Structure 1
Amino acid sequence: MGTDIDENDLPVDHSWDNRRLILASLAPRSATRPARRGTPLDGDPTPPGGPDRTRKPGLFSRGMRVSGRAVSAGGRAFNNRVPRENRARVAIMTVAAVAILLVALAAVNYLTTDVNPPAPATPATAAPPPPPSQAPLNRDTILSGATASDVCPRDPNYSDANRAFDSDFNTAWVCTRVKNQDGQQIQIDFGRQVTLTQIRIIGGFDATAPDGTDQWAKHRIVTKLEVYFPKDLRRDPVTIDTGGARDWRFIALNPPATLSKLLIRIAETSPPPQPATPTSETASPNPDEVTSVAMSEIQFIGTDGHSPPA
């Protein structure tokens, strides 16, 4: 039995309406119009978005990312291990412990610096020159063979002037001061031409008697000595200031003086010092009563002839 179908009951055919989309999907794609967004063109190795997309992040950026991940991981571990109600207290205790540790380290550093301060830097300084009394001299530079004469009174205190040139400290030239005044003179004759570069003296009797008496305290001490040169040299006299020291005192002659005779004059003396504990046998006379002056040694440094030493 036949069944009649009404055209209104059939489904609507929309294929004609979609023909453009169907035809477009079947047509080949050109190189300038890719089918899928983001797909690179044929033969172009540069990825979409330009060449900057291939650069790796910098070291600072990677470090910040790693630090962020580490902090996040630490926070998650802290949250997993510490209950919610104890998190604030644990955080405060941790910060306090770190602060205490830093304070302790600072205190140790301060105490160590205070106990062991750095040694101050000392600038290098040159060694001071030796005092004049300790000037080194060679025996071969001390001139010998000189003879001396004086105008001292020939009393019991007198001792010959040549004893001041014999290189023996147990002997000395002793002269009585006329009217208790200074000004005693010694005339020196070398007997040849010599060139003097230095004159040195000991301004007292620097010896000890066999009975133990200190001869330094028995005679006045020479504090100032004047040396006069021959007139033909036209040189001013020079002065040796001893200061009363019991030691060598000298004067350097610059330029050296070439001569055969010399005059020495005692310009100033001082009373002798008194021993600390004098005894009845060895007690020195009163300084006001001492009228004699003495000199142990007078030495001339130089060479024979006109040429000064090199």
Structure 2
Amino acid sequence: MALAGGVTTAVTCPGDANLIGGTCAAIKTSGKTVSEMTMVPELAFHMCLTDDVRTTYSSKRAPKTRLASAALIREALMKAKNYHTLWKLSEADPSRKPPKFDMKLHSLMRVFDGMPVKITAKRSHDMTTAIRIAEEFELNYILEDCTESWLIPDILKKHQVNCVVGPSYGQKSNESRYRDPIVGSVLEEHGITFASSTAHPRMNIELAAIHLTLMYKKGLTAMAALESATINAARFCGLDQRVGSLEPGKDADIVIWDGYPLDYYSSASTVLIEGKVVYQK
């Protein structure tokens, strides 16, 4: 599906069922084994501030409210930060006893060494909560989904937020009632650089170009649309030294289209990954 949609690289993350779901990996979309496909096994931590967390476990466990979601993430980060401090002190001074080993905290503490944090948030107030928490702990963060980002562009610009937008169309629910492909043109108008995503399987990854086309039809410029799916996405993930543009020394991931890429009727006819043809229509 990814190759049919002209997608050569993807960042795969845990789902949105948990507040802190674990780490994301960067993969190429062609290969026979997971290890062969993997570019970066642990690229970023994934967190979530959507209704998905509160509805997954119903009334059986916390969080049951938005307040609880934010509080539990803060609590986990506070514990991880303290653990990180004690661990680093013990490394610097062998006479100091390290904290009791905790697998979860040991993994999470890496966000205090600069490991990116991808926070899924759809509603504008959830996005501002994510910004507040991320800046409180000085995290290297990226906001994901960003359904209502077009309603708060001034806030996003003020905080210089990196946004991964999408899907911007499809079935609407309580959290996505303001979903609209106009998001792309509004962010561009306010000088906000963003990346595009289908959030597969929420929207099939083979429709990645359709997602761009819809935003293009709603006023996003062609160059901004293409950059959102290529170099911007690569930069946000720290992969721009390998992918995201055609330059000497990069991976030679190339998609040849049978028409204008931002046309509903165009499709990927030939896909190359690392200079090898992996898909032909």
TM-score range, shorter chain: under 0.3
Larger RCO of the pair (alpha carbons < 8 Å, separation 6+): 1
TM-score by length of 1: 0.18
Rg comparison, structure with higher value: 1
